[in-house]
Structure 1
Amino acid sequence: MGNMEATAEEYRRFGEVHVRGSSALYERLALGVAGDEQMLELLVTLPKEKRQPNLLFGAVRYLRGTTPEYPDFRAYVLSERELVARTMMSHRTQTNEPARCAALLAVMAGLPGPFALLEVGASAGLCLLPDRYAYDYDGHRIGPPGARPTIRCAVTGRPRLPPHVPEVVWRAGIDLNPLDVNDDDEVRWLEALVWPEHDERRTRLRAALEVARADPPRVVSGDLNTMLDKLAAEVPQGATLVVYHSAVLMYLSPVDRNRFADQVMGLPGHWIAQEDPSVLSGLVRRMPARPENRRSPFLVALDGEPVAFAGSHGGWIEWLDES
């Protein structure tokens, strides 16, 4: 398959699978790009990892705001192709979704604390602060008094609800390009990555940013495979190390994914992954059937063992019968 055909298929799949039922605008834009030779010709001038739909759509939102329909979107991209391409080259898809912390806490509920949290692909570090948010698991509420945002999560299957937020005694993140929660331009990029219709996500992001600005988490710049062991060596004695990530491994080559899995499984702690199931294939001990009533779910795995499916932007968790 040639570059244009592969890129068209990537956009078609994004529209028909990943955003259908969640962002009508992005569905229209993705399908428009998939059938547009001029747009595809522009995209294939970029490196493969820079052709992603989320990166293109985020770049346009960052530069000029939401474009209502495909003809206007197309006209802007083609007329400002150099600016759009430059923005895509200088930025990364670093969606920082605090709602993913609900699944993280549910899995951590079965582990002994206190905890040392090490997130790879941490972006601005908002998912390094799960103990500072409030949660509502179908009416089961936990969190510090007055904490915001409140992260709501529907739970099905065998319940495993955390009795309280975890005690975190150490935390750090790794990212190729850490974002500064006190940099207005970098925050604007984070907001541009939130899909247009997702007002609740945007509100939650802003509330989480306020929490992070009060005491910014430590996120070091570097490659996860280079930095993982170095940071893990800093974990204080008596703390349970939890290495975790969400929507990160898709950006690694298969070789680097395997290298990361080997490293993390060799550490004295636990590994919690939230990723597209196809990305975890070969890295987990079994591949459960996807839930039929869920679109584009993440597979949640603990130490290489699948335990649940969860919403890619949070909102629900469905425990596996075998977990």
Structure 2
Amino acid sequence: MRSLDEELTDLADHYRWFAGVEAAPVSPRYAELAAAVARDDDVLAFLGTLPTPKRQANLLLGALQYLHGGPPRDGAELHERVLGDADRLRATMLARATQTNEAARCAALLPLLAGLPGPLALIEVGASAGLCLYPDRYGYEYHRDDDEGGVRVGSASSPVQLSCEVTGRGPVPAAVPRVVRRAGIDLNPLDPADPDDVAWLQALVWPGMDARRDRLTAAAAIAAREPASIVRGDLLAELPGLVAAMPADCTVVVVHTAVLAYLPAAAKEAFVELVGGLPVRWVSQEGVGVLPAVAARLPEAPAAGERRFLLALDGEPLAYTDPHGGRIDWLPAAAALARAGGRQAPSRGSSRACEG
């Protein structure tokens, strides 16, 4: 059994890694704060009182933002907040979880969703507040390197407007799909109509990303006006029932982004087996190494330290995407979809071709 000192040494390494690899390219403030945690024995000792899954950098820094209305100015203020408000901070970190809900990821999902026979019934695994269940309520602009004007689709009047750079010979959608049902599963669903839940989501947005925070607020307002049905529970237990409850004669799509990394390996394997046996289409957008069976189908091994997500349809990798939305780098396998205008035939023996 490992000693607490060994665990705290590893924890300091985690915060140093987070500072240099995750935060530094996009949020200098978070990089500075995470590096300060790695040097602060008192803060590391506080984290050592929490269960291992609750020690992560995103959760600590998000909780500090949530409780104090913004991030600490520097490592000294972080130290003061942690030690001076330890009880509230501990309670918040135990009660909450990192549930980043980035609507911009829909820009990568849309080209696949728009090519499926519609209308669609969407089921999001790890839905959080369900903001990725509304791809038809947002506006989009896609830009290729060789395209001067770009392609605009979706709602021009939506308060959520998403821009996406595209490389490679994959599909660009001509329109948004018709969605007739929205449902999700989460261990701790968040309510987009609850100001406190929205405040928590806002606190998970890193400093320096004001556009993401504004987009989140606008997407939450859309979701609050048209609530999705999000079930509290385990995805393996709840998914079959949700699929069975979807409207007849519709294409049911199971979708998830940045979720399965939080599952143990055995649970991920069980999920892949489960979704493969259901009459659904499966759209995944996860870190490259999260689903080994999907990554194994890449035409070549990804670069070491690859930070992009891998977008796949029914386990077939089709593109690399930006973790927070805004970019699609299509793989060669996506060219067939582009030649078909993005249209995809039913698969897995499902005949849920939709009624208009």
Q: Deviations over 1:264-307 (max 9, x none)?
A: 11111211111111212245542454469x97211112111111
The residue aligned with 2:274 is 263
Alignment pair present for 1:222 and 2:227: no
The residue aligned with 2:323 is 312
8 Å Cα contact 1:284/1:301 also seen in 2: no
The residue aligned with 1:100 is 105
Q: Which moved more, 1:131-140 or 1:78-87?
A: 78-87
Offset at residue 148 of structure 1 (A): 2.3
8 Å Cα contact 2:170/2:331 also seen in 1: no
The residue aligned with 2:45 is 41
The residue aligned with 2:22 is 18
8 Å Cα contact 1:17/1:295 also seen in 2: no
Q: 2:261 aligns with which of 226, 231, 250?
A: 250
Instruction: Kindly provide the amino acid, as one letter, of the partner of residue 120 in structure 2.
Output: F
Q: 2:218 aligns with which of 207, 216, 232?
A: 207
The residue aligned with 2:198 is 187
Whole-Å separation in 1 of the counterparts to 2:91 and 2:270: 31
Instruction: Kindly provide the amino acid, as one letter, of the partner of residue 69 in structure 1.
Output: D
Whole-Å separation in 2 of the counterparts to 1:114 and 1:284: 30
The residue aligned with 1:27 is 31
Whole-Å separation in 2 of the counterparts to 1:291 and 1:311: 15
Whole-Å separation in 2 of the counterparts to 1:209 and 1:322: 34
TM-score between both structures, scaled by the size of structure 2: 0.86
Offset at residue 248 of structure 1 (A): 0.7
Instruction: Kindly provide the amino acid, as one letter, of the partner of residue 286 in structure 2.
Output: E
8 Å Cα contact 1:261/1:283 also seen in 2: no
The residue aligned with 2:354 is none
8 Å Cα contact 2:124/2:255 also seen in 1: yes
Q: 1:88 aligns with which of 88, 93, 96?
A: 93
Partner of 2:184, secondary structure, is strand
Number of residues of Structure 1 aligned to a counterpart in Structure 2: 322
The residue aligned with 2:207 is 196
The residue aligned with 1:158 is 169
Instruction: Kindly provide the amino acid, as one letter, of the partner of residue 77 in structure 2.
Output: D
Whole-Å separation in 2 of the counterparts to 1:85 and 1:282: 37
Alignment pair present for 1:77 and 2:82: yes
Instruction: Kindly provide the amino acid, as one letter, of the partner of residue 46 in structure 1.
Output: L
Q: Which moved more, 1:144-153 or 1:243-252?
A: 144-153
What are the residue-to-residue correspondences of 1:50-65 with 2, within 5 Å? 50-64=54-68, 65=70
Whole-Å separation in 1 of the counterparts to 2:169 and 2:230: 34
Whole-Å separation in 1 of the counterparts to 2:121 and 2:18: 35
Offset at residue 217 of structure 1 (A): 1.5
Runs of 4+ in 1 over 3 A off after TM superposition: 282-285, 287-292
Offset at residue 16 of structure 1 (A): 1.5
The residue aligned with 2:71 is 66
Q: Larger radius of gyration, structure 1 or 2?
A: 2
Offset at residue 52 of structure 1 (A): 1.2
Q: Decide whether aligned partners of structure 1 residues 232 and 321 sit closer, same or farther in structure 2, where only a CA change above 3 A counts.
A: same
Whole-Å separation in 1 of the counterparts to 2:63 and 2:289: 26
Q: Deviations over 1:162-205 (max 9, x none)?
A: 11011112210111111111111111101101111101101111
The residue aligned with 2:118 is 113
8 Å Cα contact 1:106/1:160 also seen in 2: yes
Whole-Å separation in 1 of the counterparts to 2:297 and 2:9: 32
Q: 2:252 aligns with which of 212, 228, 241?
A: 241
Alignment pair present for 1:4 and 2:15: no
Instruction: Kindly provide the amino acid, as one letter, of the partner of residue 271 in structure 1.
Output: W
The residue aligned with 2:348 is none
8 Å Cα contact 1:109/1:161 also seen in 2: no
Q: Deviations over 1:127-178 (max 9, x none)?
A: 1111111111122111134122101111111131111011112210111111
Q: 1:303 aligns with which of 304, 314, 320?
A: 314
Whole-Å separation in 1 of the counterparts to 2:332 and 2:16: 33
TM-score between both structures, scaled by the size of structure 1: 0.95
8 Å Cα contact 1:49/1:251 also seen in 2: no
8 Å Cα contact 1:95/1:194 also seen in 2: yes
Whole-Å separation in 1 of the counterparts to 2:18 and 2:169: 31
8 Å Cα contact 1:17/1:296 also seen in 2: no
Instruction: Kindly provide the amino acid, as one letter, of the partner of residue 238 in structure 2.
Output: M
Instruction: Kindly provide the amino acid, as one letter, of the partner of residue 112 in structure 2.
Output: V
CA-atom RMSD in angstroms: 1.7
Offset at residue 224 of structure 1 (A): 0.7
Whole-Å separation in 2 of the counterparts to 1:136 and 1:289: 30
